[in-house]
Structure 1
Amino acid sequence: MKYKAEQFLLSSIILKNNNFNKVSKIINENNFIKKKNGVIFKSIKNMLNKNNKIDVITLFYYIKKNNKLQNISFKYINGIIKNNAIFDNIVKYAKIIKNKYLLKKIYENFYKFSYLIKNKKIKNIFNFVSRVQNKLKSFLKKNYKNDKFKIKKKLKIVYHNIINKKYSNNTYIKTGFSKLDNLILGFSPGELIVIAGRPSTGKTSLCMNICENISIKNKLSSIFFSLEMSKEQVILRLLSSISGINSKKIKGSSLDKKEKKKLKYAYKKIKKSSIFINDNSFFNLYNFKSNLKKIFTQNKIGIIAIDYLQLVYLKRNKDSRNNEIAEISRILKTVSKEFNVPVVALSQLNRNSDQRINKRPILSDLKDSGSIEQDADLIIFLYNNLLENKNIVETELIIGKNRNGPTGVIKLDFDKSKTKFIDK
């Protein structure tokens, strides 16, 4: 058990080479207590720097060729991968290794001082304390670098990105609606975006239209968590929106040849795209991250969407629903930053607007919690006349908050029969 964390970490990297990037800034080869494991880690690093793929055989022959002083057998390396390592725990393994290394170094560095105290060999207490302080300062400087607080490296990256025009429109994920993209530039990775409106204003349709645009036009994956509708209902909406066929007609299956051709076109478009739909009503926010990690390892994600915020619950009992929503919005914000992807949460509005002459929603209309307003980087309100008995309804998209840009209003047409928003 003494070297289990080291073996688990090495196993995780050998079996899945990309895992190395998760721990390369936490530990290095010198942090391994068992020298053999340090040699293996260094060999993995060197091989990956040369873009070599690693498995047990290639790793064994690389070590045999480049580390002749170390007798590391094929049996030893093969034994490492037989450990039941959990890939998601690789950062934990790295921290265990680092902590053990630091404790070992603390013991080595300060054993001499404890010996002097124990044997009463201190002549000048003030000089002794000064030596201990200097040793401690030196130890901390060497092993605890405050890189998290330094901005020089990041400043250099940001500056060169500006000079090289990397902060152009390519930085943003385009929604597919030209007027909206012109106003907000698009959705920015790492942002929490809230789309809010009264019932039947088209929140879900707008969000799904954005997801389909991102997946089909931008060739990025979309993850849509549907807590209200089944997967089948979501797919029917996608087919209607892309084919341009009335959703009732699709459900009724009374399609002519031209419409069947359009439906087949929509079917192929969706099939080629990468749209993930989760319709589990018992949405567990604490398993949210682990589920996302599995998708992120194999796909380039453009958007994560949740329909809708008020249907998300935590297992733990909170003293109020407001506090629960506050924690939910905070978790969603951390997910957007951690995965560097826009997270879109749909939200209901309270009935405050019913009491006003001007029914257009404002920030205080967000239901259940003011923390949604606080955590969100971008808030888009939908407003239209629900009493209009028309298939196509003019809808205002009101940018109520934009942390990194302008607010304003743009207008789209909402085709209710096809659950599709259209640029005016």
Structure 2
Amino acid sequence: MMLSADAIADVIEIVRPNDFYRTANAKIFDTLREVYGRGDPVDAITAVEELKRRGTLDEVGGHLAISDLVDRVPTPSSAASYARIVAETSLLRRLIGAAADIMDMAYSPQEEPEQVADAAEQRIYEVARHGEKEQVASLHQLVDEAMTDLERIQNRESAFAGVPTGFRDVDSLLSGMQSGNLIVIAARPGVGKSSFVTNVARNVAVDAGLPVAMFSLEMSRWEIGMRLLCGEARVPWDSIRNKRVGAEDWSRIAQAADSLHEAPLFIVDSGNVTLVDIRAKARRLSARRAGLGMIIVDYLQLMSHTRRVDNRQQEIAEISRGLKMLAKELEIPVIAVSQLNRDPERRQDKRPQLSDLRESGAIEQDADVVMFIHRDDSDPAKKGLADLIVSKHRNGPTDTVPLTFLPHLTQFRNHAIAVS
């Protein structure tokens, strides 16, 4: 690296400081990377001066160590090959460390087998993603990361920073669904929770082309597939079931099948899914697809915890927290559908409130965004209309977004441009 600028560009794409076994080599590498990043020439002299400035020259062995490194390099053109050896050896060391940790957990009598299996899988997953992330960050690092994100936002083609829901006014309010966020969609039974998140899954997978993992604990994959196909074709399921479908309808169904066929939407419809199951399947899908765009869980109250807990409130709280941690781990938005308690039915104002979330206030605490779906079909003037009430938005404003609901297609649309 101190002999060729091209070698530096190759190496920093392959190796990180924590890939080096010797601390001195890690510090030297980090120093060279810093000098290169400033646009200064990288050689033995600038390396020594930067190490002096950092106060780490003696820690790495002084001038003699730097000179020795330069003298021992056979040829700079092989730098990328050497870097791969360092990275591969580092990976093996991390695997050995992970295996030791897993053995310790397996021998621990306090841990339940399911928890050990989950922790073991997470440990291997971290290694596969090239090691753990730094747990401690300086303000200098945070500011640099923030500036990089701001530049990315400024230069992006999309109008939104996050994953688009496909609903214009919702995306405008949230700027899309943000990575690492837990988004809770809640409503009373029969209002359209599952329909709404299925619509969002379709929009993300088909329109945005991002892989979506949908865990459906209530609807079967057949039901979801049929809803998606009928909605895409704009042909009601009742018409198909009762054989009232003409040639034009069949043509639209065929076109819809083509448009949905390659969409990266993966549905798990097991009726008994635990948090451990979701984490395991999500990690595998993420690794197989080089990342997921979003996860949907429908719905939260049907999930169970592998570990025994004192009461249902505590169980839901741990599941909610686990979904939030999964969103942060995979750096994607996670949508969790939630039921409401019966309090709205007892009030004169039927519109849901945060206190109506069923079984645990922890859902509200863990969620970055909470949205309620409210429909008042008893009022003829409001038939076919729905309000998406954004009651909590940790990093932005709250508001109510009007949508149109088409019950014959079990589909929500942007209010201003809805078509039957």
TM-score (norm 2): 0.68
Alignment of 1:184 onto 2:156: no
Amino acid aligned to 1:190: G
Query: Aligned partners of 2:295 and 2:249: how far apart in 1?
Result: 31
Alignment of 1:244 onto 2:244: no
Query: Aligned partners of 1:47 and 1:178: how far apart in 2?
Result: 49
Q: 2:361 aligns with which of 357, 360, 370?
A: 370
Shift of residue 200, structure 1, vs aligned partner: 0.9
Task: Give the aligned partner of residue 393 of structure 1.
Answer: 384
Task: Give the aligned partner of residue 28 of structure 1.
Answer: 20
Answer with 159-168 or 224-233: which moved more: 159-168
Alignment of 1:329 onto 2:320: yes
Cα–Cα, structure 1 residues 27 and 422, in superposed 2: closer, same or farther, change >3 Å?
same
Query: Aligned partners of 2:369 and 2:356: how far apart in 1?
Result: 15
Amino acid aligned to 2:284: K
Task: Give the aligned partner of residue 148 of structure 1.
Answer: 136
Task: Give the aligned partner of residue 308 of structure 1.
Answer: 299
Cα–Cα, structure 1 residues 361 and 170, in superposed 2: closer, same or farther, change >3 Å?
closer
Q: 2:161 aligns with which of 168, 171, 177?
A: 171
Amino acid aligned to 1:93: I
Task: Give the aligned partner of residue 335 of structure 2.
Answer: 344
Partner secondary structure for residue 282 of structure 2 = helix
Amino acid aligned to 2:175: L
Cα–Cα, structure 1 residues 360 and 170, in superposed 2: closer, same or farther, change >3 Å?
closer
Task: Give the aligned partner of residue 412 of structure 2.
Answer: 421
Task: Give the aligned partner of residue 412 of structure 1.
Answer: 403
Task: Give the aligned partner of residue 147 of structure 2.
Answer: 159
Cα–Cα, structure 1 residues 294 and 388, in superposed 2: closer, same or farther, change >3 Å?
same
Query: Aligned partners of 1:400 and 1:90: how far apart in 2?
Result: 47
Shift of residue 170, structure 1, vs aligned partner: 4.5
Cα–Cα, structure 1 residues 209 and 390, in superposed 2: closer, same or farther, change >3 Å?
farther
Query: Aligned partners of 1:48 and 1:227: how far apart in 2?
Result: 49
Alignment of 1:202 onto 2:192: yes
- Which runs of no fewer than 5 residues in structure 2 stay unpaired? 1-12, 24-77, 102-132, 416-420
Alignment of 1:278 onto 2:278: no
Identity of aligned residues (%): 31
Shift of residue 255, structure 1, vs aligned partner: 1.7
Shift of residue 330, structure 1, vs aligned partner: 0.3
Alignment of 1:235 onto 2:235: no
Cα–Cα, structure 1 residues 97 and 152, in superposed 2: closer, same or farther, change >3 Å?
farther
Q: Is the CA contact 1:391–1:416 (under 8 Å) kept in the aligned structure 2?
A: no
Amino acid aligned to 1:394: L
Query: Aligned partners of 2:375 and 2:266: how far apart in 1?
Result: 29
Task: Give the aligned partner of residue 261 of structure 1.
Answer: 251
Shift of residue 183, structure 1, vs aligned partner: 1.4
Q: Is the CA contact 1:201–1:382 (under 8 Å) kept in the aligned structure 2?
A: yes
Q: Is the CA contact 2:376–2:383 (under 8 Å) kept in the aligned structure 1?
A: no
Cα–Cα, structure 1 residues 384 and 405, in superposed 2: closer, same or farther, change >3 Å?
same
Partner secondary structure for residue 301 of structure 1 = coil
Shift of residue 423, structure 1, vs aligned partner: 0.9
- Which runs of no fewer than 5 residues in structure 1 stay unpaired? 1-19, 32-43, 51-58, 63-76, 81-86, 99-144
Q: Is the CA contact 1:198–1:348 (under 8 Å) kept in the aligned structure 2?
A: yes
Cα–Cα, structure 1 residues 387 and 243, in superposed 2: closer, same or farther, change >3 Å?
same
Q: Is the CA contact 1:392–1:415 (under 8 Å) kept in the aligned structure 2?
A: no
Amino acid aligned to 2:303: V
Task: Give the aligned partner of residue 345 of structure 2.
Answer: 354
Amino acid aligned to 1:28: F
Alignment of 1:295 onto 2:298: no
Task: Give the aligned partner of residue 118 of structure 1.
Answer: none
Query: Aligned partners of 1:48 and 1:306: how far apart in 2?
Result: 44
Cα–Cα, structure 1 residues 199 and 275, in superposed 2: closer, same or farther, change >3 Å?
same
Cα–Cα, structure 1 residues 362 and 96, in superposed 2: closer, same or farther, change >3 Å?
same
Task: Give the aligned partner of residue 93 of structure 1.
Answer: 96
Shift of residue 180, structure 1, vs aligned partner: 1.0
Partner secondary structure for residue 322 of structure 2 = helix
Shift of residue 45, structure 1, vs aligned partner: 9.4
Query: Aligned partners of 1:90 and 1:357: how far apart in 2?
Result: 63
Highest CA radius of gyration, 1 or 2? 1
* Alignment size in residue pairs: 313
Amino acid aligned to 2:193: K
Deviations 1:32-60 (A, max 9, x none): xxxxxxxxxxxx9944968xxxxxxxx8x
Partner secondary structure for residue 289 of structure 1 = helix
Q: Is the CA contact 2:160–2:171 (under 8 Å) kept in the aligned structure 1?
A: no
Partner secondary structure for residue 400 of structure 2 = strand
Partner secondary structure for residue 329 of structure 1 = helix
Shift of residue 27, structure 1, vs aligned partner: 4.3
TM-score (norm 1): 0.67
Query: Aligned partners of 1:327 and 1:93: how far apart in 2?
Result: 31
Q: Is the CA contact 2:186–2:372 (under 8 Å) kept in the aligned structure 1?
A: yes
Query: Aligned partners of 2:155 and 2:303: how far apart in 1?
Result: 37
Q: Is the CA contact 1:193–1:345 (under 8 Å) kept in the aligned structure 2?
A: yes
Amino acid aligned to 1:228: E
Deviations 1:295-326 (A, max 9, x none): 11232422100100000001222111000000
Cα–Cα, structure 1 residues 92 and 324, in superposed 2: closer, same or farther, change >3 Å?
farther
